[in-house]
Structure 1
Amino acid sequence: MTAIQTRTLPDEALLARYRDGRSYTDCYSVDVAPVVSHAAYVEAFYTSAVFKVERQLLAWFVSRPATDQQAHALATGQLDAFSAWTVEGRSANQLLLCDFQNRTRSWLMTSAVEVEGAPGTRLYFGSAVVPVVSRRTGEARMGFVFRALLGFHQIYSRVLLRAAASSLQQ
């Protein structure tokens, strides 16, 4: 497994529609061997021990529980809602989810790469945060909470991606 990289969103990314200058977007990747399917990646991501903590918090605080079986169904295209998210876009190698408040997006993508001379997979994970438009001024703003949590979000994104990659290599 290679180190996690911060990347520019690929042009074909379903998340790229949020590179509008108003929204925040990020993109991280890691290369793993052997080749893994997109469905296996999505399932590994949402069933990792790290993400299960987030799932539990969502169950407690916003009454949006989710199970490993639901993660599998999401990964295989049999489910379009998972915990606090609904599917906004899906393709053979991508999944774009929107949160129940319509503020954030989570994106997973796979692509074929070579890892140390052998076939492998690049795992991408990215997010978008959409600004809130003030009813009073009409101005789009990210807000204090976004700015306060951005550093944590960037670290947490890498931790989630590393957990999924590690799971796929076991």
Structure 2
Amino acid sequence: MASLEANVVLCSAAVSACGTGQDWQCALHLFSTLAERRVEANLITFSAAVSACEEGRAWREALELLRQMTTGAVQRDVILYNCIISACEKQGKWQHALLLLAKMEEDLRADVISYNASISACEKGNQWHRAVDLLLQLRQKRLQEDATARPYWPATKLVNGSKPCFS
């Protein structure tokens, strides 16, 4: 019988399977064993672990994974940031969502998903003025808002009076 050697592909698949099964703790446990298995995590492995945290609403753990990535040589991407922002949004952690959005803008270019998750986090935290600011930034950056952001535009018009709501 042939043995199955642990490699980054197999480990990433296992972490992802745990996340798909909504067992973020199992995903993080497997992720934490990579070093002892002499497997170096890559963007896919980190993304699988972050996605599991997002599904499990484990925003602190998702932030810790991002911290681990910044100390290592693993490049971050928009999808990874969006998962972490979404994990914060699901728990109403608007401060963290906004900090992540700002950090993301330093490293990459945020997309409409980044803004929508941040707007939703602000909504959950009753931070309407911040949500309106994000909507205006979304427009200034000429990012096309989707159905998630569209219901907020009437509030933007009320707050900003002279600024057009739709163009």
Structure (1 or 2) with the greater strand fraction: 1
Q: Of the two structures, which has the highest relative contact order with CA contacts closer than 8 Å and spacing of 6 or more?
A: 1
Same fold flag (TM > 0.5): no
The TM-score, its normalising length taken from structure 2, stands at 0.21
TM-score (norm 1): 0.21
Relative to total residues, which structure has the larger helix share, 1 or 2?
2
